[in-house]
Amino acid sequence: MKMAVERNGAEKDDAAGHIRCMMSRRKFLMTGGVAALSVSTISLSLFPGGTVQAEVVEYPRKRIARLSQLKNDVPVDFNYPDDAPGSSAMLVKMGGIRAGGGIGPQEDVVAFSYLCTHQGGALEGLYRVVGDHRVLGQCPMHLSTFDLTRHGIVVSGQAYESLPQILLELDGDDIHAVGIMGLLYGRHRNVM
């Protein structure tokens, strides 16, 4: 079995001893074909007596906004990890509502893909504030809605996978995208 690991370049040196078969803040492990952008190959022990070869590829580190310039509940559009189809995404500061994976002093700044995980419906312009809830949706195709405070889980509709969350890091006032948790709709791997 061959697997691919996508990760941020800053973790290149310590990956071999730490990568596990699970999602973590800056690593995404997925089954799939050989990755053209692989930078190394490692062995993973996934079950007793069994190992698989995993190829490691990098996510880009991309500055997407400044924290001081964000307005509460006003999304900022960007593309990540590239500008190819399927890369449209949004960043939003959710008015002090703490979120899983949120950054900033209030842990309320998050970013997500704009493509519905069901059949790729476009979610642009569908960020909504409902009391203390912050959601994206309803998807115009089959009405899925995703909770942005809880890693983009599905709260209604036909989708059954969470919305891919763009992993963020704060460096001073600069917000960087550094990875993705989940697989972007329409891709067999996030980094092409």
Chain contacts with ligand FES (rule: CB under 6 A): 116, 118-121, 139, 141-144, 157-159
Shortest Å, Cβ 159 to ligand FES: 5
Shortest Å, Cβ 182 to ligand FES: 15
Q: Which is nearer to ligand FES, 88 or 158 (CB)?
A: 158
Q: Is the CA virtual torsion 75, 87, 101, 8 positive or negative?
A: negative
Q: Which is nearer to ligand FES, 54 or 116 (CB)?
A: 116
Q: Which is nearer to ligand FES, 95 or 120 (CB)?
A: 120
CA–CA dist 131, 149 (Å, integer): 13
Q: Which is nearer to ligand FES, 8 or 138 (CB)?
A: 138
CA–CA dist 98, 105 (Å, integer): 10
Shortest Å, Cβ 43 to ligand FES: 38
Shortest Å, Cβ 116 to ligand FES: 3
Which neighbouring-strand residues pair with 176? 63, 169
C-alpha 124: how far from chain center: 16
CA–CA dist 140, 126 (Å, integer): 9
